[in-house]
Chain A
């Protein structure tokens, strides 16, 4: 498996060369390493961001923000032997939690904007709406815990590491989130009708 940081495979079962970008690679180790990382992991970040924001455009914005924050310290990160993905995911989630400032531009209630993401045939429109409505009622910290635990499939310890809190906090936040989500049709017996 081709690796980017020379330490561990970044993408289980898929080599970077299988996900080559459609344009020529940038010159320079730092640029190539960063680009390789994004090619390998960008889609994962985008999916996590989508679960956090419930909006594809904001998800892209969030990922770009996180990558832009990480880029200046990329070389140090790779040289230091850290796992870039864990760090980027951490920046992504903390940026999301701190992302109050997008409110005034992103929550205009009047417009019917066009759908920017192709609906997934695997999930009905109603179910998706119910899912994001339920997630949207959670405080950001709890939503982040839910996404990391049940979407990214991280353990409680890994989730705590990403959020910079204790395992106990993850457990309590997760428990509160599930309690709140049980009030939604999403987790009620019989599911969405």
Chain B
């Protein structure tokens, strides 16, 4: 072992946490496994119900043009939660919403403010995994990084505790950074919740993936194998800016709600995507100009060998996928599709 290796080893061992109590991990793992099982069961059940409903609908309306309804969501307690928020919440200085609350509802003080543009009517997140994306930290001290946030439109989060069946609220003014952190997490969670449950590998871009993707087991690698061709690619884009993929994201900008864009890549683009992914490994030290976009792109791939794999737009993932040619960036075919999807999505949403 060289001197550098010894130093690295020594630093890592010194930085590692000391002995800790770990028995809680057992229960946590069991609970999580049970949640995944319940979710899968619910997914199968809803798929069966959806098929039956659609079959009934089709049978009862022969001759009429039918179309799949948009992803449905339970009405949720949005309105009533904002109207009857309960008492002011009391929690420690920092809490992950999913660890304590069963739902979080966003109540803007003035819905006409531009910051709330595009916000869906359903503004409650109740999925336990998605709730883990929402960090609630109470305001502790003046934060110079958050000066701009003073101008953000105020809002209230109504929190429900499932076990006690109680409701309480916290105002953005009492949250750290005037609620920006909590709001960013809430928007991310809400967007995924709105995308609907994933019922198949090439289906919607909803919450199933945050629990654990179904791949070919731990043996699967992220490398496209020689001779493997992509036969289907489903695209999911998270956090796409409203004005298009090239919009710069400023550090002082308040979080905005961005719905998830979900689409199949056109079949004619699949050979080009296969070619783009069939590159050699690039050392990031040799090609430092990784240009992953500020939004997150995920493409679920079905391969000719029957394998399934996934491409995501983080720089480190691009490296492991072996996308060639500095500067490292998304293959143009994906960028073009994102732009097309963005235009389509925003043209549809904008009155």
Contact = CB atoms under 8 A, between A and B. Distances in A.
Nearest to B145: A110
B26 interface: yes
A126 to B, nearest CB: 12
- The contact size tier of chain A is 35 or more
A35 B212 contact: no
B271 to A, nearest CB: 25
A4 B60 CA distance: 59
A27 B16 CA distance: 33
Interface in A78-119: 87, 90-91, 94-95, 97-98, 100-105, 108-114, 116-118
B15 A105 contact: no
A182 B146 CA distance: 35
A122 B13 CA distance: 9
Contacts, number: 205
A105 B185 contact: yes
B4 A187 contact: yes
A123 B14 contact: yes
A122 B15 CA distance: 7
Interface stretch (B162-170, B175-183, B261-269): B175-183
A47 to B, nearest CB: 5
B330 to A, nearest CB: 14
Contact of B20 (A23, A46, A112, A113): A46
B318 to A, nearest CB: 9
- The contact size tier of chain B is 35 or more
A113 B94 contact: yes
Interface in B19-43: 19-23, 25-26, 28-30, 32-33, 36-37
A147 B12 contact: yes
A38 to B, nearest CB: 5
A50 B22 CA distance: 14
Contacts of A127: 11, 14-15
Given A100-B312, A113-B137, A141-B320, A51 B16 contact: yes
25 contacts: A23-B23, A38-B23, A39-B22, A47-B17, A50-B17, A51-B12, A71-B30, A97-B320, A98-B213, A98-B310, A100-B317, A108-B185, A110-B180, A111-B135, A117-B17, A123-B15, A127-B15, A137-B284, A139-B284, A151-B9, A179-B283, A180-B285, A182-B4, A183-B285, A187-B7
B100 interface: no
